[in-house]
Amino acid sequence: MCEAPVLWLNRPTREAWMDVLADSLRSLRLKTEVYGRLELSAPWGIKLDLGHPGFFHAISRGSCWLEVEGQRLALAAGGWVFILGGAPHAFRDTLRTRTRPLPELYAETGARCGGVLRHGGGGPQTTLLSFSFGFTGTWLNRLLAGLPRVLHIKGDGAGATRGVEALIQFVAAEMEAGRPGHDLVATRLADVLFIHALRTHVEAFPEAKGGWLRALEDPQLGRVLQQLHDRPQHPWTVETMAKLASMSRSTFAARFQKVVGESPLTYLTHWRMHTAMQRMAEGDASLTAIAESVGYDTDSAFGKAFKRHAGKTPGEYRRQLRQRAG
């Protein structure tokens, strides 16, 4: 396959890693479930142990304590917290208040899960917006693996958090109003809120980055990752990647494996397959055109690589996508 020579542009490191992060976020197929707007008045305490891949909670009013995996965090209005891996956790107005399972409270009050739940003793009020989330596919595991299991960001009304705080208030108002279609609106807003909050955390807290995220900020590895994402169709070899990184082949391969956690060619194959899956899901391009767009000269070579990665042929995968959509 003929292709114009690659121009090795030394783009600023931060711009390069944000490009790769944007690629990943664009391809994110997020499954968000709104647990509800919880109107809580002191004394109150709730606990969640629901087995979801992750949780996202935002405080739109008041304050509370969060206990998760041995940590105690003080949360206040405008702040939010991710809990990755679905660890059991509890919220309460003070550390002395007893907690009750959230599903039990929904059953007791007759409130609808995903709507407004009112609970507590009539004292100072706290409003908590609660969501569970998960992903289809595995690409974003690279991002999540580089983050702590508990992410807490304090709202300060300025800078990067201002947009998230505005979204928190918007979602809270939509859930409170209960107009027709509010469930769908709240879920879509929750998707935006999740991505915005995640991006804010990644930008604001470099010390939390590890693994794949650390590779993105590495001046040499980040340059390579940016080019792999920009040009999956290029006939990459370990030698050309090493040249781009200004490193010897052996040094580059060892460093990539150590930091990213997989070999350069394995990473490239996974990105190509992920990109191919996205293109099948988002358009009607032929499988031949998709194969060429991710660096395969023949349908047979693409088909073999795809089946090793996905456990099914490209045609089978596309048929499954159409059956689900139909």
pLDDT in tens, 100-118: 999 999 999 888 877 789 9
Alpha-carbon torsion, ordered 137, 138, 142, 144, to 10 deg: 70
Determine contact, residues 118/39, Cβ cutoff 8 Å.
yes
- What is the token pair recorded at 210? 């590890």
Question: What's the full length of the chain, in residues?
Answer: 326
Most confident by average pLDDT, 27-41, 156-170, 240-254: 240-254
Mean pLDDT rounded to a whole number for the chain:
83
Q: Which residues pair with 101 in a beta bridge?
A: 47
Helices (H), 135-220: 141-145, 161-177, 182-204, 212-217
Amino acid 175: pLDDT: 74
CATH number for the domain formed by residue range(s) 27-204: 2.60.120.280
Instruction: Using alpha carbons, list the distances in angstroms from residue 272 to 174, 286, 309, 317, 321.
Output: 39, 16, 10, 15, 18
Question: Strand ranges (DSSP E) for 100-242?
Answer: 100-101, 116-120, 125-135, 150-153
Q: pLDDT-derived band of residue 89, with 50, 70 and 90 as boundaries? A: very high
Q: Flag the least confident range among 48-57, 220-229, 240-249.
A: 48-57
Give the number of other Cβ atoms within 10 Å of residue 286's Cβ. Answer: 9
Range 14-20 average pLDDT:
59
pLDDT of 51 strictly over 90: no
Determine contact, residues 33/191, Cβ cutoff 8 Å.
no
Q: What is the pTM of this model?
A: 0.69
pLDDT of 68 strictly over 90: yes
Between 314 and 222, the higher pLDDT residue:
314
* 11 DSSP 8-state letter: -
pLDDT of 317 strictly over 90: yes
> Alpha-carbon Rg of the chain, whole angstroms?
23
Amino acid 1: pLDDT: 39
Amino acid 76: pLDDT: 93
pLDDT of 299 strictly over 80: yes
Amino acid 166: pLDDT: 78
Amino acid 10: pLDDT: 42
Q: Parse the chain into domains and list their residue ranges.
A: 27-204, 212-325
Amino acid 269: pLDDT: 96
For 212-325, the fitting CATH number among 3.40.640.10, 1.10.10.60, 3.40.50.2300, 1.20.58.1000 is 1.10.10.60
Cα separation, 93 vs 112, whole angstroms:
23
Range 112-127 average pLDDT:
91
Range 236-250 average pLDDT:
97
pLDDT of 7 strictly over 60: no
C-alpha closest to that of 57 among 93, 97, 84, 24: 84
Q: How far is CA 139 from the centre of its chain?
A: 10
Alpha-carbon torsion, ordered 160, 163, 168, 173, to 10 deg: 160
Cα separation, 84 vs 149, whole angstroms:
5
Between 117 and 9, the higher pLDDT residue:
117
Residue in this structure with the two tokens 């109150």, named with its chain if needed: 44
Q: pLDDT-derived band of residue 162, with 50, 70 and 90 as boundaries? A: confident
